[in-house]
Amino acid sequence: MARTTTIELHKEDMKFAAGHFTIFSATHRENLHGHNFAVFVSLTGEVLADGMLADYDIFKGAALKQCRAWNETFMLPGNSRHLHVEKDARGDVLARFNGEELRFLARDVTILPAENVSLEELARLFGEGLVGDGGSFRANRISHVVVKISSEPGQWCSWEWRDHG
Protein backbone atom coordinates (compact mmCIF):
# COMPACT_ATOMS: atom_id res chain seq x y z
CA MET A 1 0.00 0.00 0.00
CA ALA A 2 1.63 3.25 -1.15
CA ARG A 3 2.25 5.80 1.58
CA THR A 4 0.91 9.24 0.75
CA THR A 5 1.64 12.63 2.25
CA THR A 6 0.65 16.26 1.81
CA ILE A 7 3.19 19.06 1.53
CA GLU A 8 1.82 22.51 2.36
CA LEU A 9 3.50 25.64 1.02
CA HIS A 10 2.51 29.00 2.49
CA LYS A 11 5.81 30.84 2.59
CA GLU A 12 5.95 34.49 3.59
CA ASP A 13 6.93 35.52 0.03
CA MET A 14 4.07 33.59 -1.58
CA LYS A 15 2.04 36.79 -1.96
CA PHE A 16 1.24 39.57 -4.39
CA ALA A 17 -0.01 43.12 -3.97
CA ALA A 18 -2.62 43.96 -6.59
CA GLY A 19 -5.57 46.22 -7.25
CA HIS A 20 -9.05 45.18 -8.38
CA PHE A 21 -12.75 45.73 -7.91
CA THR A 22 -15.41 43.03 -7.66
CA ILE A 23 -18.40 43.40 -9.96
CA PHE A 24 -21.72 42.34 -8.41
CA SER A 25 -24.11 43.24 -11.24
CA ALA A 26 -24.40 45.29 -14.44
CA THR A 27 -24.73 48.41 -12.31
CA HIS A 28 -22.96 47.63 -9.02
CA ARG A 29 -19.23 47.30 -8.45
CA GLU A 30 -16.75 48.17 -5.77
CA ASN A 31 -14.45 51.13 -5.98
CA LEU A 32 -10.92 50.41 -7.07
CA HIS A 33 -8.89 49.06 -4.14
CA GLY A 34 -6.07 46.67 -3.42
CA HIS A 35 -4.99 43.78 -1.28
CA ASN A 36 -1.91 41.96 -0.20
CA PHE A 37 -3.07 38.60 -1.50
CA ALA A 38 -1.54 35.50 0.10
CA VAL A 39 -1.10 32.14 -1.61
CA PHE A 40 -1.26 28.61 -0.21
CA VAL A 41 -0.44 25.49 -2.22
CA SER A 42 -0.73 21.90 -1.05
CA LEU A 43 0.58 18.84 -2.90
CA THR A 44 -0.65 15.34 -2.06
CA GLY A 45 0.99 12.23 -3.47
CA GLU A 46 2.99 9.08 -2.97
CA VAL A 47 6.15 8.92 -0.85
CA LEU A 48 8.77 6.67 -2.49
CA ALA A 49 11.56 4.54 -1.04
CA ASP A 50 13.79 7.63 -0.92
CA GLY A 51 11.38 9.03 1.68
CA MET A 52 10.27 11.91 -0.56
CA LEU A 53 7.18 12.93 -2.48
CA ALA A 54 9.07 15.25 -4.84
CA ASP A 55 11.45 18.18 -4.59
CA TYR A 56 8.90 20.81 -3.63
CA ASP A 57 11.30 23.57 -4.68
CA ILE A 58 10.08 22.90 -8.24
CA PHE A 59 6.51 23.83 -7.30
CA LYS A 60 7.45 26.57 -4.85
CA GLY A 61 9.47 28.22 -7.62
CA ALA A 62 6.51 28.07 -10.01
CA ALA A 63 4.19 29.56 -7.38
CA LEU A 64 6.63 32.39 -6.62
CA LYS A 65 6.96 33.12 -10.35
CA GLN A 66 3.17 33.48 -10.63
CA CYS A 67 3.13 35.73 -7.54
CA ARG A 68 5.74 37.98 -9.16
CA ALA A 69 3.70 38.12 -12.37
CA TRP A 70 0.66 39.39 -10.45
CA ASN A 71 2.53 41.70 -8.06
CA GLU A 72 2.02 45.48 -8.31
CA THR A 73 -0.56 45.46 -11.05
CA PHE A 74 -4.21 46.37 -11.42
CA MET A 75 -6.30 43.38 -12.42
CA LEU A 76 -9.26 43.65 -14.79
CA PRO A 77 -11.62 40.81 -15.78
CA GLY A 78 -11.27 40.18 -19.53
CA ASN A 79 -14.35 37.96 -19.72
CA SER A 80 -16.84 40.00 -17.71
CA ARG A 81 -20.40 40.20 -19.02
CA HIS A 82 -20.69 43.65 -17.38
CA LEU A 83 -17.33 45.29 -18.05
CA HIS A 84 -15.90 45.74 -21.54
CA VAL A 85 -12.20 46.15 -22.08
CA GLU A 86 -10.39 47.49 -25.14
CA LYS A 87 -6.73 48.28 -25.81
CA ASP A 88 -5.42 51.07 -28.00
CA ALA A 89 -2.37 50.84 -30.29
CA ARG A 90 -0.06 51.57 -27.35
CA GLY A 91 -1.65 48.83 -25.24
CA ASP A 92 -3.29 51.34 -22.92
CA VAL A 93 -6.65 50.13 -21.71
CA LEU A 94 -10.15 51.60 -21.72
CA ALA A 95 -12.64 49.71 -19.56
CA ARG A 96 -16.34 50.53 -19.76
CA PHE A 97 -18.77 49.71 -16.94
CA ASN A 98 -22.35 50.95 -16.57
CA GLY A 99 -21.69 54.15 -18.49
CA GLU A 100 -18.34 54.78 -16.76
CA GLU A 101 -14.99 54.86 -18.55
CA LEU A 102 -11.89 53.71 -16.64
CA ARG A 103 -8.49 54.25 -18.28
CA PHE A 104 -5.23 52.46 -17.46
CA LEU A 105 -1.68 52.65 -18.80
CA ALA A 106 -0.48 49.38 -20.29
CA ARG A 107 2.29 49.17 -17.64
CA ASP A 108 -0.21 49.28 -14.77
CA VAL A 109 -2.85 46.77 -15.79
CA THR A 110 -3.22 43.00 -16.17
CA ILE A 111 -6.28 41.73 -18.03
CA LEU A 112 -7.16 38.28 -16.71
CA PRO A 113 -9.16 35.61 -18.59
CA ALA A 114 -11.72 35.83 -15.81
CA GLU A 115 -15.39 36.65 -15.39
CA ASN A 116 -14.60 38.70 -12.29
CA VAL A 117 -11.51 39.55 -10.26
CA SER A 118 -12.82 37.60 -7.30
CA LEU A 119 -11.01 35.23 -4.95
CA GLU A 120 -12.74 32.37 -6.74
CA GLU A 121 -11.39 33.37 -10.14
CA LEU A 122 -7.92 34.25 -8.81
CA ALA A 123 -7.65 30.83 -7.14
CA ARG A 124 -8.75 29.13 -10.36
CA LEU A 125 -6.36 31.06 -12.60
CA PHE A 126 -3.47 30.65 -10.20
CA GLY A 127 -4.14 26.91 -9.92
CA GLU A 128 -4.60 26.39 -13.67
CA GLY A 129 -1.38 28.33 -14.31
CA LEU A 130 0.49 26.23 -11.76
CA VAL A 131 -0.85 22.81 -12.77
CA GLY A 132 -1.17 23.30 -16.52
CA ASP A 133 -1.91 19.92 -18.12
CA GLY A 134 -0.86 18.19 -14.89
CA GLY A 135 2.11 16.47 -16.55
CA SER A 136 4.81 17.52 -14.07
CA PHE A 137 2.54 16.61 -11.17
CA ARG A 138 1.71 13.15 -12.55
CA ALA A 139 5.43 12.61 -13.27
CA ASN A 140 6.05 13.26 -9.56
CA ARG A 141 3.13 11.04 -8.48
CA ILE A 142 1.22 14.03 -7.17
CA SER A 143 -2.48 13.24 -7.38
CA HIS A 144 -4.11 16.24 -5.66
CA VAL A 145 -3.27 19.94 -5.62
CA VAL A 146 -5.08 22.63 -3.65
CA VAL A 147 -4.46 26.33 -4.27
CA LYS A 148 -5.91 28.87 -1.87
CA ILE A 149 -5.84 32.66 -2.24
CA SER A 150 -6.65 35.12 0.54
CA SER A 151 -7.41 38.83 0.20
CA GLU A 152 -6.60 39.30 3.89
CA PRO A 153 -6.02 37.08 6.92
CA GLY A 154 -9.00 34.86 7.62
CA GLN A 155 -10.56 35.15 4.15
CA TRP A 156 -9.62 32.42 1.66
CA CYS A 157 -10.95 30.79 -1.48
CA SER A 158 -9.68 27.50 -2.90
CA TRP A 159 -9.29 25.65 -6.19
CA GLU A 160 -8.43 21.95 -6.55
CA TRP A 161 -6.96 19.62 -9.12
CA ARG A 162 -7.12 15.82 -8.90
CA ASP A 163 -5.39 13.33 -11.16
CA HIS A 164 -8.14 11.06 -12.39
CA GLY A 165 -5.70 9.22 -14.66
Ligand X SMILES: Nc1nc2c(c(=O)[nH]1)N=C([C@H](O)[C@H](O)COP(=O)(O)OP(=O)(O)OP(=O)(O)O)CN2
Phi, psi of 163 (to 5 degrees): -85, 110
Residues 6+ apart with CB under 8 A from 72: 16, 17, 18
- Where along the sequence are the contacts to ligand X (CB under 6 A)? 22, 30, 33, 118-120, 151-152, 155
Smallest Cα–Cα separation from 161: which of 134, 126, 129? Answer: 134
Query: Nearest distance from residue 60's CB to ligand X, in Å?
Result: 25
Query: Nearest distance from residue 57's CB to ligand X, in Å?
Result: 30
Query: Nearest distance from residue 4's CB to ligand X, in Å?
Result: 31
- Count the neighbouring beta carbons within 10 Å of the beta carbon of residue 135: 9
- C-beta closer to ligand X: residue 43 or 119: 119
Query: Nearest distance from residue 155's CB to ligand X, in Å?
Result: 6
Q: Position 126: which residue type?
A: F
Question: Which residue's CB comes closest to ligand X?
Answer: 118
- C-beta closer to ligand X: residue 27 or 155: 155
